[in-house]
Amino acid sequence: MAKRFTKHNFPVPSGSGGTSAQTTSDNPEEERTSINDAALHDTSQLPHEEAPLDDILNSDYQTREKMSEEKFRRLVKSMQEDGPQDTILVRKHPTIPDKWQIVRGGHSRRDAAKAAGLTSYPISIVDYDDKRSALGTARENLAREDLTPLEEGRLYLAMKSFGYTQEALADELGISRDRIKECEALAKSAPEIQEMIQRIKDLDGDPNRGLRAAKYLRRLDDLDKQAQGLAARIRGPLIDAFIYERITTDEMDTATKHLVATDDPENVLAAIVRSLHQKETAAEQQAEQSKGAKEPPPPEIQRTTNLGLATRRLRQFMTLIGTSPPSEEERKTLTHIRSEIDAILNR
């Protein structure tokens, strides 16, 4: 049975009664500020109770999309075995009666508790206005190592509703203005650029790879002046190549400069894709030659390597065919490949 905090066993300050924190000030505003400041260090000094999980709602300023699946599974397991080990900081929901709103971290803990089968969670209650709630959520998110620059940029844009300039926000949060500027630009980027950042994080866990490449890819926005949707069509193959490290950040810089300078970007893109394919083929041949008389790797490794090569070849074909229908011969080949894949998967 998981251990659970309740109104009766969660630690409260000596001399306080029930769920109310002990106060000594005669000034209510000073008293409220003192209690709220305590939330940064010692939530036991705050009013607290156990609330139904369904009554604990998201912060309006939460921009972090999700934690990794592995970390979330570990958190769920911890909830199942040990129950909640701390409280979630909340305020009364500003627009929904009888509900609570998270004002700092706690979204993942709440979701993990639900996944673990719990129905309630201990909360610590503060009296935050919107600005303070936004700042609390921002500081909590910025402390996360896996926060992507996209999530960061959305956070900075949300803070602008309180009149913050980039300079003021930099001072408030201790972040450089250049970092804020780059992240905000990313959060305003085309959907396929934003998706690239999330795909990179999901693939290799690096939340910051791609920030400079995104800057170069935004140059292609001007292509929509030639034809609506052209920028997205040109960006697609470049994004795939970058995600799977077939094109470097510096090569992306050069490629996008050529693409915006030409009157025929689609032909230039085809040449770039061919060049990347030739480079990859040469690297594979060199790797094969370098093996020499070495003992071949175990079959499991050979299988993984060959599957990776086949996957890259398929992506190259998909880039070349674009949205066009396959030829009759291509259709026969693809159908045969699909039947062979189905046969493997059905073993």
Q: What is the pLDDT of residue 270?
A: 92
Q: What is the pLDDT of residue 296?
A: 64
Q: What is the pLDDT of residue 295?
A: 63
Residue 123 and residue 54 in contact, taking contact as beta carbons nearer than 8 Å: no
Q: What is the pLDDT of residue 52?
A: 95
Q: Give the mean pLDDT of the chain.
A: 80
Residue 178 and residue 156 in contact, taking contact as beta carbons nearer than 8 Å: no
Q: Which long-range contacts (CB under 8 A, 24 or more apart) does 239-244 make?
A: 239/192, 239/193, 239/196, 240/315, 240/319, 241/273, 241/276, 242/196, 242/210, 242/213, 243/196, 243/199, 243/200, 243/203, 244/312, 244/315
Coil/strand/helix, residue 121: strand
Distances from the Cα of 316 to the Cαs of 108, 236, 311, 340, in angstroms? 38, 12, 9, 20
Q: What is the pLDDT of residue 49?
A: 87
Q: What is the pLDDT of residue 294?
A: 58
Q: Which two tokens stand for residue 149?
A: 């620059």
Return d(Cα 45, Cα 56) in angstroms, integer: 20
Q: Rounded to two decimals, what is the model's pTM?
A: 0.60
Q: What is the distance of C-alpha 242 from the center of its chain?
A: 18
Return d(Cα 175, Cα 182) in angstroms, integer: 12
Q: What is the pLDDT of residue 17?
A: 33
Q: What is the pLDDT of residue 8?
A: 33
Contacts of 125 (CB under 8 A, 6+ apart): 46, 47, 48, 49, 90, 91, 92, 100
- 10-residue averages of pLDDT along the chain (347 residues): 40 33 38 39 70 92 72 90 90 93 87 94 90 85 80 90 90 92 95 91 80 95 93 94 91 94 93 87 71 64 76 75 79 86 87
